[in-house]
Amino acid sequence: MQHYHLLEREIAEDDPGLAGLLAQAHGQRERAICLCRRDHKLPLYIAHRQGGYVLARWPGTGPRHASACNHYEAPDSLTGLGQVRGSAVVEHEDSGETELKFAFPLSRGPARAAPSAFTNDKPAVRTNGLRLTMQGLLHFLWDKAELTHWHPRMGGKRNWFVVRRALLHAGLACRARGESLARVLFVPETFQLEQKEDIAGRRRSDLAMAHASNEAIMVVIGEIKAIEPARFGEKIVLRHLPDWPFLMDEEMARRFHKRFAVEEELWRSDGGGGHLVMSASFSIGASGLPQLFEIAVILVTREWMPYESLDERALVSKAVGEGRRFVKGLRVNLGPDQPIASIALKDTGLDATAVHLVRNVSDPAYDDALAALMMTPGVRHVAWQPGNSLPPPAPRS
């Protein structure tokens, strides 16, 4: 059970008085202390988000928490976060806010008609940690929202309402170009036919900036329901935006299918159990429909846990099925030629265990990089492939 020190008292995470205490401490600008380890002082800050108060991990302290702690985060060097932390992602300890720098524009500006679609798919940009690509932003927000975290109590409790709320909370804690990321982040709410008119009104309010100027660019994150033919190309229909398709001309559609061929194949082969999530920059054209620029997609299981290959889906499903506690690693800006730890098991004792996928085809450069990654201190390391067992959880005290 998670415990905190707050306003001169110790309190458990399930204590009914925690919410009131958090509100009081927030008003007094007091911090909380996580008590997962008594030998370290681990501060948490209190954020006010969408009418409630939440405890958030202080920047850079994740690996110092006990591995079983809700606020534990594996060392950045095990994932793509290590490349962007301090450059594309700058965390300010004084405010608890995170500043993001993007490799794509948030306005078209008077000098150009529109940004070039898929520009951040170029390898020279995709592997550069100085600015987040569209993939990097999607991965970072998914992690910031702790949608990469799993424990057995989450079973059956994640749906789009929960995912959307977590993403919006994450956006409120980030800034880009001097303003809150929430200002340009659009995550559609769960569609309900009987509330269609009310939802349309709220959507127009959420998109007010883009409606006010065709130079304004926003970012949408939503689940892809279908990719269908359109009169002059194709259209992407998001599950909770059935009446507002994202259009692609023939050239853009061709490039989309080429770039995301693996993700589409895995999505279509999943039997409807998983989800394909899109993040894209867009503006609103004269027709009132969105014009796409940069696009990235991420595959997630039915539990909304990310994966990028059939083997990794098997690993995540095995960990979920066995009731394990773990964190999923993400690439952020890194390309597929660089290894990351697929998951970090949090239930193996004082030290977490990083689980690395073994590639089916040997690649000396990749194998050497993986061997070096598995020397990262602070965690244990295991190599895994389908058919292998996972390291057993530590006995509960």
One DSSP character per residue, 345-375 reads ES-SSSS-EEEEEPPSS--HHHHHHHHHHTT
**pLDDT (tens digit, 9 = 90+) per residue, 164-215?**
999 999 999 899 988 999 999 999 999 988 898 999 999 999 999 999 998 9
The pLDDT score that the predictor gives to residue 351 is 85
Residue 123's pLDDT band, with cuts at 50, 70 and 90, is very low
pLDDT (tens digit per residue) in 204-251: 999 999 999 989 999 999 999 999 999 889 999 999 999 999 999 999
State the pLDDT at residue 396.
73
Residue 90 neighbours by CB distance under 10 Å = 15
State residue 348's pLDDT score.
Answer: 92
- C-beta of residue 360 within 8 angstroms of C-beta of residue 339: no
Query: In the beta sheet, which residues pair with residue 298?
Result: 277
Give the pLDDT score at 120. Answer: 44
Look up residue 214 and give its two tokens: 């065709």
The whole-angstrom separation of Cα 292 and Cα 383 is 40
What residue ranges do the domains of the chain occupy?
1-58, 76-317, 318-384
> What are the Cα distances from residue 31, in Å, to 1, 71, 386?
20, 15, 44
Retrieve residue 32's tokens: 């909380």
CA distances from 187 to 40, 44, 90, 296, 338 (A): 38, 27, 23, 15, 30
What is the distance between the alpha carbons of residues 249 and 194, in angstroms, rounded to a whole number? 33
The pLDDT value given to residue 137: 97
Please say whether the beta carbons of 305 and 150 come within 8 A: yes
Distance from first CA to last CA of the chain, Å, rounded?
A: 12
SS3 of 187, please? coil
Query: Is the model's pLDDT at 140 over the cut of 80?
Result: yes
pLDDT at 112: 46
With cut-offs at 50, 70 and 90, classify the pLDDT of residue 74.
Answer: confident
